């Protein structure tokens, strides 16, 4: 579990204007990038991620939009402005690719398809997570579904009745949340598949982890790879359990996908949030090191406690703010912790006890 990034390996922010805009809390500009690919920031209203970077890939005949962004009037205007700057309109769009189906990426696909009659493409594992994938407005990546109730997950983890009520009710001041229905694919993209776009060679790289069917897209003649949420320059993507079938190991998948992406170190990384950069080997090492530290921290917390519940482990870990201020992100924190605990159980470093109506507890394996 010890992989520490080598400080000698280079990392360079190439989206300088994006980074400056991020620091000033502004929306970055629409930019034309290497190989005539366009970066279009689409705002996510009332969300700390602030915007999704949509990418426009024009071909000889046709134009593909990758991750149209969160569905809102403001977002639609921003996407249309970006298309105009690239000399196109929504009607010119021939294809839409979702790196994954989180609403901040795939939310506006339906609207764009209706305006253009474009095909919609994603990985089959992402399609498989769709029927249940309706997300309350205002919550990015925190998908809920009728067959996967958050309340049951919270109770099973040992959250108190108060916490369950707090986290399954609507946030203060919000009325009934309209639900967003996400577009189904017309085309499935498996690892190694090329986008149907004449004059371009855009290759699908399957990178499961953040979601089961997350993909990156490499355009090697332009020297770029679109990394979606898989690799971001500053934050670590959430590794949750949503949309998972039994037997899947999201953290192990994510770590393997990170290792794989280091091979594109000579490509500029075009992420779906924050800013562009070079240095995928360095950044993927950092992310792997982050998860190694997390796994070690969980083992330490379990060592220091007597058979803590999953909820107690989550509360004792270090988060970006104190636990009592984590608010509604406690659900994502719990899922993230559960993914790490599963990984440690699979490695034989932890065992689970409880369950069957009682909260799940974790312990170090051993006599007694």
Q: Which is nearer to Zn ion, 315 or 332 (CB)?
A: 332
| Least distance in angstroms from the C-beta of 240 to Zn ion | 9
Minimum distance, C-beta of residue 367 to Zn ion, in the bound complex (Å): 42
CB of 258 within 8 A of CB of 232?
A: no
In this structure, how many other beta carbons lie within 10 angstroms of the beta carbon of residue 292? 15
> Smallest distance from the beta carbon of 347 to Zn ion, in angstroms?
26
Helix (H, G, I), strand (E, B) or coil at 301: helix
Q: How far is the CB of 126 from Zn ion (least distance, A)?
A: 11
Instruction: Give me the least distance between CB of 52 and Zn ion, in Å please.
Output: 6
Which residue, 42 or 64, is less far from Zn ion as judged by CB?
Answer: 42
Residue placing its CB nearer to Zn ion in the complex, 107 or 308: 107
Lookup: tokens for 23: 């620091």
**Shortest Cβ 102–Zn ion spacing (Å):** 4
Q: By CB under 5 A, name the binding residues for Zn ion.
A: 102, 104, 141, 229
142 or 308: whose CB is closer to Zn ion? Answer: 142
Spatial neighbors of 101 by CB under 8 A, at least 6 apart, are: 122, 126, 129, 130, 133, 182, 211, 213
Residues 6+ apart with CB under 8 A from 34: 222, 223, 224, 268
Q: Which is nearer to Zn ion, 68 or 308 (CB)?
A: 68
Residue 92 exposed, middle or buried by CB count within 10 Å (0-12, 13-18, 19+): middle
Nearest to 68 by CA among 85, 55, 59: 55
Which residue is closest to Zn ion by CB?
Answer: 102
Is the CB of 134 or the CB of 220 nearer to Zn ion?
Answer: 134
Radius of gyration in angstroms for the set of CA atoms belonging to the chain, rounded to a whole number: 21
Q: Say whether 200 sits in a helix, a strand or coil.
A: coil
Contact 338, 318 (CB under 8 A): no
What 3-state class would DSSP assign to 119? Answer: strand
Looking at beta carbons only, is 141 or 209 nearer to Zn ion?
Answer: 141
The nearest distance, CB 297 to Zn ion, in angstroms, is: 23
């Amino acid at each position: 579990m010890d992989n520490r990034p080598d400080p000698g390996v280079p990392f360079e922010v190439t989206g300088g204007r994006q980074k400056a805009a991020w620091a000033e809390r502004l929306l970055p500009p629409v930019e034309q990038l290497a190989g005539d690919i366009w970066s279009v920031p689409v705002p996510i209203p009332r969300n700390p991620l602030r915007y999704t970077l949509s990418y426009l890939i024009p071909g000889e005949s046709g134009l593909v939009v990758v991750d149209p962004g969160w569905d809102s009037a403001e977002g639609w205007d921003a996407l249309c402005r970006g298309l105009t700057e690239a000399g196109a309109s929504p009607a010119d769009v021939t294809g839409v690719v979702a790196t994954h189906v989180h609403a901040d990426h795939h939310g506006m696909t339906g609207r764009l398809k209706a305006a253009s009659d474009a095909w919609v493409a994603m990985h089959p594992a992402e399609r498989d997570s769709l029927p249940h994938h309706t997300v309350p407005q205002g919550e990015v990546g925190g998908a809920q579904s009728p067959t996967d109730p958050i309340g049951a997950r919270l109770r099973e983890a040992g959250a108190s009745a108060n916490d369950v009520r707090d986290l399954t009710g609507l946030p203060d001041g919000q009325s009934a949340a309209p639900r967003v229905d996400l577009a189904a694919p017309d085309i499935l993209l498996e690892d190694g598949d090329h986008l149907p776009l004449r004059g371009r060679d855009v290759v699908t790289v399957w990178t499961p982890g953040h979601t089961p069917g997350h993909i990156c897209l490499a355009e090697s003649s332009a020297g770029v790879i679109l990394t979606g949420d898989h690799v971001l320059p500053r934050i670590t993507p959430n590794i949750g359990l949503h949309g998972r079938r039994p037997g899947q190991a999201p953290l192990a998948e994510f770590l393997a996908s990170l290792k794989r992406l280091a091979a594109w170190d000579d490509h500029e990384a075009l992420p779906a949030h924050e800013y562009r950069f070079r240095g995928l080997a360095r950044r993927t090492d950092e992310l792997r090191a982050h998860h190694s530290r997390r796994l070690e921290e969980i083992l330490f917390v379990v060592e220091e406690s007597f058979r803590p519940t999953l909820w107690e482990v989550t509360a004792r870990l270090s988060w970006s703010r104190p636990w009592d201020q984590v608010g509604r992100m406690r659900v994502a924190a719990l899922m993230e912790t559960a993914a790490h605990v599963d990984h440690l159980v699979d490695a034989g470093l932890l065992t689970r006890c409880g369950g069957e109506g009682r909260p799940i507890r974790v312990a170090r394996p051993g006599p007694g």
